[in-house]
Structure 1
Amino acid sequence: MVTVTRVRDVEQLCTLAALDMIELIATLQGPGGGLHGDGIARVVLTGGGAGIGTLEQLAHFDRCAAAQEDSFPALRIDWSRVHVFFGDERNVPTDHPESNEGQAREALLEHVNIPEGHIHGFGLGHGISMDEAAESYAAALDRWAPKGFDLHLLGMGGEGHINSLFPHTKAVKETKDKVLAVRDSPKPPAERVTLTLPAVNSASQVWFLVAGQEKAEAAGHILAGSDFLQWPAAGARGTAETVLYLADDAAGPAGGTPAANS
């Protein structure tokens, strides 16, 4: 089952998702909390307008909480007890404008007190091959998130792609490996490394961040549970909860619940 959280626009989406993340992560950080029972939250970040906008809001709320902590303490994430992962990465160095990790660092990670060793990037663009990066990242998942993730954020393309899992590609058909090198992405750049559906579906919580009229049809297929080979987003489900944050412009004709069209 997918829970739909309707919002007015992408700005409201980013604000609400960030507030919900703060509440969720703070809860996970309680004694014995989280999927691993160690009070450490394991979170997969996503790029795109809504994904990066949500990270910017998290940074904003963290600054606000810090500024008022003496006079009026607010709920706040303990970033020393968060491990961050990425759903996919383009084959570029971190300082490249198209790097998901680079964008996440600029939007959030450089502004909060998260240990560098808790940021798990793919390491691309520094002399490592994509196959080596995929193998290394799979090992990192086994070490730092052996039971899966507490939260996986997902953006989505108009054709329903998530991470670098595109319709009818080898990557979306993967049923065993959690990380794959992709050399034929239909969306440039062609070369990427991605988490697969087995990795996504190891998450307790999967949250879609969806805004834009061009995404209405794909959003309907998420709700309908359509064939994930044609609509990859339809194959992503959290083990505890799946939430679709849906802006009005992505909610189909006349603002109604999106309808899945065959």
Structure 2
Amino acid sequence: MTEAPGVRLVVVHPDKEVLAQAAAARLLTRVLDVQSVRSPVHVVLTGGTVGIATLAAVAASPLVPAVDWSGVHLWWGDERFLPDGDPDRNETQAREALLDGLVAEHGLPAANVHPMPGPTSVATPEEGAAAYAALLAEHAQGAAPAVPAFDVLLLGMGPDGHVASLFPGHEGLTAQGTTTGVHGSPKPPPERVSLTFDAIRAAREVWVVAAGAEKADRVAAALAGDPVTEVPAAGAVGQARTLWLLDLDAAGATSPE
């Protein structure tokens, strides 16, 4: 199979455990490949069961020491608007699974970890979104939208087809700029901060990672190009490549491309 610019590739693994291991190996290989031609590398992390399992698999990989972590910046696609250290924050789970170890043992500068602000430092999701947009702009390369050139942007997908904190029928789907404050999320907690589609689609590569039979219908709908208002994952597209990394249950009747 030839991978061309703008290609969409569907990769199916036998179960969620293998999916996490394979996604981790693919991510480390991609970071190493990018570092062979440019620096810094910008990666956007995701939460969720498979997202955090992927980070834990990265932590256990023998490839970790091969990466120059001093040249890697880590971002988030969305975050629950909860205090720093809350166990339900994507950041907290990512630090426990991988990031604290990279900082302590592998030279990742603490300043290269860019969590989304919560109520510890800002009053509202909108203030958190504005602060994160300003931070993204500091690392942008001049072109609109004002975000870094994300080399890999990881996204999980919910059973309703949402990605980041962009939910079906929700006003966040049409948010302008690079970030948005979210209220009334159908999945608790109701307040969140999220990248917008403008920011997501600016990534060089977008990887949607999904596992479980309960997601199969929405995976099929997204790959069929259903409206983003109904299946937000359909709008998660990378500039150079879009990867759908699935387990067999989530793939359902979907055929690898």
TM-score by length of 2: 0.89
Supply the distance in 2 between the matched residues of 1:23 and 1:43 (Cα, whole angstroms).
13
Quote the residue 2:119 is aligned against: 125
Supply the distance in 1 between the matched residues of 2:111 and 2:206 (Cα, whole angstroms).
24
The secondary structure found in structure 2 opposite 1:181 is strand
Q: Is the 8 A contact 1:2 1:223 kept in 2?
A: no
Deviates more, 1:110-119 or 1:127-136: 127-136
One-letter code aligned to 1:172: L
Q: Note the alpha carbon deviations across 1:144-197, whole angstroms, 9 max, x for none.
A: 2444311100000011000100001110122x3110011110111101011111
The secondary structure found in structure 2 opposite 1:243 is strand
Supply the distance in 1 between the matched residues of 2:164 and 2:110 (Cα, whole angstroms).
23
One-letter code aligned to 1:226: D
Quote the residue 1:115 is aligned against: 109
Q: Is the 8 A contact 2:75 2:114 kept in 1?
A: yes
1:3 paired with 2:9, answer: yes
Quote the residue 1:221 is aligned against: 221
Q: Note the alpha carbon deviations across 1:201-244, whole angstroms, 9 max, x for none.
A: 01000001110000001111221121001100000100000000
Quote the residue 2:91 is aligned against: 101
Q: Which runs of 5+ in 2 are unaligned?
A: 1-6, 141-146
Shift of 1:127: 4.0
Q: Mapping of 1:172-211 within 5 angstroms? A: 172-174=173-175, 176-211=176-211
Supply the distance in 1 between the matched residues of 2:67 and 2:218 (Cα, whole angstroms).
32
1:143 paired with 2:138, answer: yes
Q: Note the alpha carbon deviations across 1:118-138, whole angstroms, 9 max, x for none.
A: 011112131412222111100
Task: Count how many residue pairs are aligned between Structure 1 and Structure 2.
Answer: 238
Runs of 4+ displaced beyond 6 Å: none
Quote the residue 2:154 is aligned against: 153
Percent sequence identity over aligned pairs: 41
The secondary structure found in structure 1 opposite 2:43 is strand
Quote the residue 2:254 is aligned against: 257
Q: Is the 8 A contact 2:172 2:196 kept in 1?
A: yes
Residues 2 and 65 of structure 1: is their aligned pair in 2 closer, same or farther, counting only changes over 3 Å? closer
Shift of 1:100: 0.5
Quote the residue 2:68 is aligned against: 78
Q: Is the 8 A contact 1:164 1:194 kept in 2?
A: yes
Supply the distance in 2 between the matched residues of 1:164 and 1:147 (Cα, whole angstroms).
20
TM-score by length of 1: 0.87
Shift of 1:94: 2.6
